[in-house]
A and B are shown apart, each in its own frame.
Chain A
Amino acid sequence: MNAYQEFSVIGSRPVRPDGLDKVTGRARYGADLNMQGQIYGHIVRSPHAHAIIQSIDCSQALAMEGVLAVMTGKDLPVPGDSVLGSGEGAIALKDLSPMVMSQGKVLFHAQAVAAVAATSPELAAQAAALIAVSYEVLPAVTDMHEALSAEAPILHADRFPHGFPEEPTNLAAHISLVVGEPDAAFERADVVIEQTYSVPMCHQGYIEPHACVARVDAAGQVDLWCSTQGHFTVAQYTAALTGIDVGKVKVTASEIGGGFGGKTTVYLEPVAVVLAQKAGRPVKMVMDRGDVFRVTGPAPGAQTRVKLGAMRDGQLVAADVECVMDSGAYNGNPAGIPAFMATACYKFTNARSTGRAVYTNKPKIHAYRAPSVPQVTLGFELAMTELAAELDMDPLAFRLKNAVEEGDVNMMGAPYNRIGLRECLEVASAHAHYNAPVAEGEGRGVAAGYWINAGLQSSATLNVLSDGHLAILTGSPDIGGSRASMALMAAEVLGIPFEHIHPQIAATDAVGHCDVTGGSRTTLATGQAVIQAAEQCVAEMCRRAAAEWEVEAGVVTWSQGAAHYGEQSLTFEALARRAGTMGGPLTFSSSLTASSAAPSFGVHICDAKVDKETGRTTITRYTAIQDAGKAIHPAYVEGQMQGGAAQGIGWALNEEYLYDENGVLENPGFLDYRIPVASDLPFIDTVIVEVPNPLHPFGVKGVGEVPIVPPMPAVAEAVYRSAGVRLRDMPLNPPKIVAALTGQ
């Protein structure tokens, strides 16, 4: 039962508080701040994908006029075996530090090996070219299947994943889970299918490159401004990577120009801090777009083998999923998620699920919207659709027959609370899009998707201003409209106008700890902190009104933005104006580790038309249906659904990292790494389903990530139905489709 059942402003669509600054160009992003006296950092990157650094000579660069500092990996502490908790999951320092700067060995092309700071960006670039690095070049392996072969060069001779102690391999992790007796269950299945599917490595594709500016004062206090999904995490990582106490690192989050998981870590920040410390001047760093593609982000490529067994009536009886994921040069932990979550949409009493991660000479992978789930879901959902066809069943009816619901247990072992997959499937089945005839020459695909969603730590502080307005401070960078949802939630509890509420993202020294904006958690968890602080405000205002009226606090009620007792009332504004004489300033803070997270499910319907001559696919109609729990600001929920769908469509049709034989990325720019543009897409229709999350006061579930999960299998099926050839390897680009159609 949710604490709040009826809403007055939740579910409305006001203009976001930060909107005006963004449509007029005033909003300040990572590269938009300049500090007085700043100089400019430039990174020296490895021309080799696998090499031992023999020596680095910075003397010529340092001798240049205008060069104020240089650094190499030797300026960073040796990572050792320590592990950092980052909210979204632990990361070993030895997997993080080399992504900032190598210490001795280079494991991917363009890895940072040194850096220089100079009085202009041009000088810094020229000085970087004078830093002489000599390498012993080693053979590189970029294909994860080759990396597992006996002949492959070993990236980490000192690492042995759990359960594989015999000899070093490129296997980073191996996780296998079993429930029931899948092998026996397959024996009694009427129909069994088994196929292998693959998804390429891709990039989050945020438009804003990484950028920061850092100042270190004479007392060693660090003042860091950067574009990030979590400035508390930036402070923690930067401190650990540089050896500076975290208490001396203040981080201010700029506006963030997209992240999608890719800005939950650091690349430039520790370098800027070290250079600023050495130079005694603030250091600004902005990453080049090519380097954004070369050294940040990528989401793992994956190959998934799916075996499914069902009875003739459509009852699923067994699943066996094996997903191999490309971790890049260090351990980005991509193996566990597919193992745990591959089967999450359906009831299985007999299933086996295996995830493996492999080291290759490519940048370490990082989180991208529902990390690792789109990859394994391409295989699982497309196999579901292929099996439905074998059973001659409607693909949605087949899913509905097997859909998980409250009380069911997935591979993670905990029973689901009140979830909305069934409702989404029912809405999809009844939707006009699904019931419209498929146009001549087109094809239609459907798919479902799951994402676990996170809770984690959040804090909020509410300051009642003297005129009855309210400032909200949180530490959660606003990546998709969360300030609007914070203001709506406070307005709902307090009963004051949305326009009187001024939400801000405060620096690490100005508000309680917040974990990263990730895991679709901000509206849920930081929102819950806002709700709790607003409830404290209501209680205190009622107490003050009671004292004024000389009655017991318990008899005073709060509604419509005012305290009431009998005929008497005191408004929020009146209590704000008189705060000084009624007990002092009204300030309320709340922090929590949210235990209210609940999973999200979505179902997408895609119509596509393949031009059989050119192989080009046009998405002609697209509908995304999703359980949001409770939509706080529906327009931004729809925006998440549309944006996630577009990213998934891009991944299905076009997006792909292409490496040459030396491990050099061949398409590090938006021209050759083509994300969907406006003319590639139709309007993306949305249906928000609301099955309230019983654990959250407003019923909120996370919404940001699950929309990228269903598109790949939905698009792939639509392409199959239009083109008449079944392709199981993404992306479904024109050359691949033409080759399949012509039998080449």
Chain B
Amino acid sequence: MNKPLNKMAVQATINGEPTAFLCSPGQVLAEVLRDELELIGTKIGCNTGDCGACSVLVNDRLVCACLVLAAEVEGQAVQTIEGVAEGGVLHPVQQKLLEHAGLQCGICTPGVVVAAKALIAHNPNPTEEQARFWLAGNLCRCTGYDKIIRAVLDAARQMREEAGA
């Protein structure tokens, strides 16, 4: 018989802060982030790893938080959308998405931001094709991706310029 109150204690670094939370053994990270830690910017569009709305970084690796058990992040560093703007300053990807109108309904946007930030960290000078394939796991039904891709390439360009300056 089910024991709904049987919880595990997990310690992890979430958006740079040491964090402890309780979770049931089968609970996924996306659910814990949202329901236990109130980090609601991580969205659940499918719960099967197909839509990318719950994209987060675990030790700088891009993952779908709906496919990671919460207990797996014991001792790991998790970054969510809430940790992307540092000190209240938007990341260039966030700023460029705003400027290029790269969002409509916005439900995919947190995942796109996290994934695009990881892309540029991995490849500071992505081609359009590389950006499209990197973001192929982030479904957007509103924009046709046009303005998202333009924003991501523009953010990468700006970051290269700032790094070179």
Question: A residues bordering B, Cβ < 8 Å?
Answer: 13, 15-16, 18-20, 22-29, 31-32, 34, 66, 120, 122-123, 126, 204-209, 255-260, 286, 288-289, 479-481, 633, 635-636, 638-639, 642-647, 669-671, 675-681, 683-684
Contacts and interface: CB of A to CB of B under 8 A. Distances in A.
Contacts of B133: 678-679
9 contacts: A22-B103, A24-B90, A31-B34, A32-B40, A258-B105, A288-B47, A479-B104, A670-B139, A679-B129
Interface residues of B, number: 60
Interface of B: 2, 4, 24, 34-35, 39-48, 50-51, 53, 80-82, 84-85, 90, 94, 97-101, 103-110, 113, 128-129, 131-133, 135-150
A518 to B, nearest CB: 14
B9 to A, nearest CB: 18
Nearest to B53: A207
A681 B131 CA distance: 12
Contacts of A635: 100-101, 147
A16 B99 CA distance: 9
B136 to A, nearest CB: 4
Interface centre among A18, A122, A207 (most CB of B within 10 A): A207
Interface of A is mostly: loop
B99 A28 contact: no
B45 A208 contact: yes
B86 to A, nearest CB: 11
Contacts of B149: 678, 683
A27 B104 CA distance: 13
A206 B105 contact: yes
B2 A480 contact: no
B98 A205 contact: no
A15 B95 CA distance: 10
Contacts of B85: 24
B143 A22 contact: no
A23 B141 contact: no
B141 to A, nearest CB: 5
Given A24-B82, A678-B149, A258 B99 contact: no
B139 to A, nearest CB: 6
Contacts of B41: 24-26
Nearest to B47: A289
Given A29-B107, A670-B139, A24 B84 contact: yes
A636 B101 CA distance: 7
Given A16-B98, A208-B105, A635-B101, A31 B44 contact: yes
Interface centre among A24, A123, A683 (most CB of B within 10 A): A24
A660 B113 CA distance: 38
A671 B24 CA distance: 27
B141 A645 contact: no
Contact of B132 (A206, A669, A678): A678
A27 B106 CA distance: 8
A28 B145 CA distance: 23
